[in-house]
């Protein structure tokens, strides 16, 4: 079979590799669509998080945000059968076939009326649901989302589907900010045109006086950091209200981020790290899309055949040009 094999930073080659055989507790999935994730980009650019790629003879095959149909089942698999449409996680999804283990992480049946393209966006939606769940936003509160990639935009969709709150989105891409508005964001800030900290403080009612330690206060109740920039966690801390704000770190970081702990202490900030999702999150993601409460189709900005994997990665690496790029073997 063909697969997109990672050989090193910015070195992706489409090669023939053996088709896997499913183990007793695995299903063999014919991949219909697989999204390029932010963690895939970290690996592509810098060689980070190589464990997220399936090892093959000459390198690794990335890709875990996948959808497809079952073509073979392991001897101990009873939950799925040949022909089932699936969504879920299976390392090595940038290939024609991938062996997916059956465990507490999935996979999940994909409803017939939900497309394979949409199915490949459900894993990041579950991640957005998990981050929003940790933040526990309440009706009437103000939530700031730093970064309007697929996770940040998913957070907009989740918030607007589930909570009557005000949402402010910060990003550098006009295209992504327009999508945030389409999904219901109440305000957007283009950080290439204005200082995002000052803009958010102004949008939330002006700066609140806080004595000592160089602490600043906006009036946001929640900040979801989906950007993973070196400065973004500190900006989020400054944006939060003087006491009781929540900062949720959803993104991974390529550089060690700044984090002023005096802000955390003085402002009584609750700080959460948000890693992937739970089974309940994933099932809720399927339900929200299947019911029509959330529309993931506008997030798919580009689709490429597997043979064009190098071009697909180059496109996903340009945040002003893309949102979610799918490879379709």
The per-residue DSSP string of 10-70 comes to TEEEEEE-PPP---TTEEEEEEEEEE--HHHHHHHHH---GGGSEEETTEEE---EEEEEE
Query: Domain for residue 190, yes or no?
Result: yes
Residues 108 and 151 in one domain: no
Query: Domain for residue 285, yes or no?
Result: no
**Tens of each residue's pLDDT in the chain, 329 residues:** 999 999 999 999 999 999 999 999 999 999 999 999 999 999 999 999 888 899 999 899 999 999 999 999 999 999 999 999 999 998 999 999 999 999 999 999 999 999 999 999 999 999 999 999 999 999 999 999 999 999 999 999 999 999 999 999 999 999 999 999 999 999 999 999 999 999 999 999 988 877 667 777 899 999 999 999 999 999 999 999 999 999 999 999 989 998 999 899 999 999 999 999 999 999 999 999 999 999 999 999 999 999 999 999 999 999 888 999 999 99
Residues 109 and 140 in one domain: no
Task: Confirm if 278 and 130 have CB atoms less than 8 A apart.
Answer: yes
Residues 116 and 128 in one domain: no
Q: Which two tokens stand for residue 201?
A: 């403080």
Query: Domain for residue 197, yes or no?
Result: yes
Task: Confirm if 319 and 153 have CB atoms less than 8 A apart.
Answer: no
Question: Cα(3)–Cα(16) distance, rounded to whole angstroms?
Answer: 6
Residues 111 and 137 in one domain: no
Query: Domain for residue 301, yes or no?
Result: yes
Domain of 43 in residue numbering reads as 2-121+296-328
| pTM exceeds cut of 0.75 | yes
Task: Confirm if 325 and 301 have CB atoms less than 8 A apart.
Answer: yes
Q: Is the peptide bond before 143 cis (omega within 30 degrees of 0)?
A: no
């Amino acid at each position: 079979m063909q697969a997109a094999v990672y050989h090193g930073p910015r070195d992706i080659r489409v090669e023939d590799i053996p088709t896997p055989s499913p183990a007793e507790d695995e299903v063999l999935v014919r991949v219909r669509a697989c999204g390029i994730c932010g963690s895939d980009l970290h690996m592509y650019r810098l060689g980070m998080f190589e464990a997220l790629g399936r090892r093959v003879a000459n390198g690794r095959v990335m890709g875990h945000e996948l959808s497809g149909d079952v073509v073979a089942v392991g001897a101990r698999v009873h939950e799925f059968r040949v022909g089932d449409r699936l969504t879920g996680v299976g390392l090595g999804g940038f290939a024609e076939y991938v062996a997916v283990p059956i465990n507490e992480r999935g996979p999940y049946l994909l409803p017939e009326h939900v497309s394979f393209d949409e199915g490949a966006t459900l894993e990041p939606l579950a991640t957005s649901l998990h981050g929003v769940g940790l933040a526990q936003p309440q009706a009437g509160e103000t939530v700031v989302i730093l970064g309007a990639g697929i996770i940040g935009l998913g957070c907009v969709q989740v918030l607007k589907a589930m909570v009557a709150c005000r949402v402010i989105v910060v990003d550098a891409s006009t295209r992504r900010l327009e999508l945030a508005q389409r999904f219901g964001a109440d305000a957007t800030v283009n950080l290439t045109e204005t200082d995002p900290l000052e803009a958010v403080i102004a949008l939330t009612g002006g700066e609140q006086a806080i004595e000592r330690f160089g602490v600043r206060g906006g009036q946001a109740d929640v900040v979801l950091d989906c950007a993973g920039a070196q400065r973004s966690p500190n900006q989020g801390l400054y944006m939060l209200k003087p006491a009781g704000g929540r900062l949720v770190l959803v993104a991974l970081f390529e550089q060690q981020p700044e984090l002023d702990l005096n802000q955390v202490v003085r402002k009584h900030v609750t700080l959460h790290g948000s890693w992937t999702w739970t089974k309940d999150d994933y099932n809720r993601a399927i339900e929200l899309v299947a019911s029509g409460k959330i529309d993931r189709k506008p997030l798919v900005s580009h689709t490429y055949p597997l043979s064009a994997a190098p071009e697909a990665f180059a496109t996903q690496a340009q945040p002003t040009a893309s949102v979610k790029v799918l490879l379709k073997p």
